[in-house]
Amino acid sequence: MPHGRHKPMNDRIFKPNALFDGLHLQRDAGFRISNGRIAEIVDATPQARQLAGCVSPGFVDLQVNGGGGVMVNTTPTPDGFLTIAAAHRKHGTTAILPTVITDHPDVLDRAVQAAIACIGQDGLLGLHIEGPHIAQARRGTHASEFIRPMDERTLDCVRALRAHDVPVMITVAPEAATTADISDLTNLGAIVSLGHTDATAGEIDAALSAGARCGTHLFNAMSQMQGRAPGAVGALLASDAHFGMICDGHHVDDRMIKLALNAVAGQNRAFAVSDAMATVGGPDHFVLYGQTITQADGRLVNSAGNLAGAHLTLHEAVKRLVDSVGVSLGTALRMATSTPAAVIAKPALRQLVGQRIENVIVLSEDLATTTPLMTIL
């Protein structure tokens, strides 16, 4: 944008078809821009410039394994992280937690150094460590040979991240991390999320009491809910913990998503995650653990035909939540913006006012496209 264009914008009110302020969807409001940021939400005037679509803060994704042809595990470098962030930004996701899954300890060490090196750049929020301290019985696509109990090496990685004030989410299973481990991680300032677990409801309750406060991709890779055995799913839903869900129509049936959302209605505990792999903004296949993962009809499968991550963006998740699950647009946008921002304790990402215009998006009326606001003004 040529120098000098920002000044006229400061003197004008913009009126979109809809405006998501971080909590509520408004249909009759406008907004004013000052110094490259959304300065305030105002009553729209007849002179306001009309904008088609819905204006919203950019999406916040707390579980991103890859994008742009790159995987965190295979390219745990600042350049790799930035490539992944750029691939998701093209689809409206302006803040991500790069996610390193179960692997050799050296891979985690490199991912930690990359997160420290590029924290804050292009919406890189920190690091999500998903495994290796998970249950063999619920490992999913995670490599069996690297799964192990919580150890000092991982704790040192978390200490290093927190010493540099880098946010950390770490997914563990009670089978591989004791309540003392969970308490230690929580005291370090890490967000402990429970997942890839076959734990009983009682074991999940104990982990939550020790400081865990989130669930990783609810329903997937965890003990299921039954009448007399609530499992991880039931215990998480019955708690006050937040939980992520992969809303791609392949990982979780839409009816189960609706049931979970009904169970926590009005609590803003559920958030959408992409669990995205390298195929988002990249080729239709990639290599993980020496095995080729291929996209077929929107699903990522390994050579055995099993799901191996997701080919999904949060934009697509929002559209599916509205079109297929039947939630309101406001609810879907909370799940993709303000709720994950609250989980990661980033209040600046939770609301429209104060957002830089490069981190504000415009969704088309049919939700088919997202466009950066700054390219429209």
Q: Which residues are catalytic?
A: 275
CA atoms within 13 A on the CB side of 37: 10
324: CB partners within 8 A, 6+ apart:
249, 254
Calpha distance 189→101 (Å, rounded): 20
DSSP letter at 300?
E
Using DSSP, state whether 165 is helix, strand or coil: coil
Distances (CA, A) of 36 to 6, 52, 242: 7, 20, 33
Calpha distance 259→207 (Å, rounded): 24
- Helix (H) or strand (E) holding 25, with range, is strand 25-26
Buried b (16+ CB within 10 A) or exposed e, 136-159: eebbbbbbeebbeebeeebbebbb
Residue with tokens 């930035």: 82
Calpha distance 136→142 (Å, rounded): 9
265: CB partners within 8 A, 6+ apart:
none
Calpha distance 224→235 (Å, rounded): 10
